[in-house]
């Protein structure tokens, strides 16, 4: 803890949303404990309304999946630490392409 940081500025709970049109595979990746830990380790703080474009995996076909995660609520202070509980909820669809383009007719040339 830095000299200016206190336990009262740490978030106890962080609620992040992902779009309703995220694929089942994408949801599985985001909801994993390892991804929750990734958020706690790579983000110093969270503010409601922030949107984080996060890479969630490559999958079996080699196509990447980046997901727009939005901070919905932060309980406690804005600082994230190892004790912050990370929860997810679903928000409106936003046109995220969770399919594997390399296997479809939509694949780039």
- Are 79 and 44 in contact, with CB atoms under 8 Å apart? yes
Q: What angle, 0 to 180 degrees and rounded to 10, lies between the N-to-C axes of helices 24-31 and 33-42?
A: 60
In a domain, 106, yes or no: no
The arithmetic mean of pLDDT across residues 21-44, rounded, is: 92
In a domain, 49, yes or no: yes
φ and ψ at 98, to 5 degrees?
-95, 5
Task: Tokens 């990447």: give the residue.
Answer: 64
In a domain, 108, yes or no: no
**Residue 26: CATH number of its domain:** 3.10.330.10
pTM, entire model: 0.78
Distance of CA 67 to the CA centre of its chain: 7
Domain coverage including residue 28: 9-98
Question: How does pLDDT run across 82-104, given as a tens digit for each residue?
Answer: 999 999 999 999 887 655 554 45
Chain mean pLDDT for the chain: 83
Among residues 16, 56, 10, the alpha carbon closest in space to that of 35 is found at: 56
Residue 61 has pLDDT above 70, yes or no: no
- Counted domains in the chain: 1
In a domain, 14, yes or no: yes
């Amino acid at each position: 803890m830095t000299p200016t940081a206190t336990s009262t500025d740490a978030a106890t709970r962080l609620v992040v949303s992902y779009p309703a049109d995220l694929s089942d595979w994408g949801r599985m990746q985001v909801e994993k404990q390892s991804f929750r830990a990734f958020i706690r380790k790579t983000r110093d703080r969270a503010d409601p309304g922030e949107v984080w474009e996060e890479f969630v995996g490559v999958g079996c076909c080699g196509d990447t999946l980046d997901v727009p995660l939005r901070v919905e609520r932060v309980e406690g202070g804005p600082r994230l630490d190892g004790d912050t509980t990370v929860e997810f909820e679903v928000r409106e669809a936003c046109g995220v392409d969770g399919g594997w383009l390399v296997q479809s007719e939509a694949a780039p040339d």
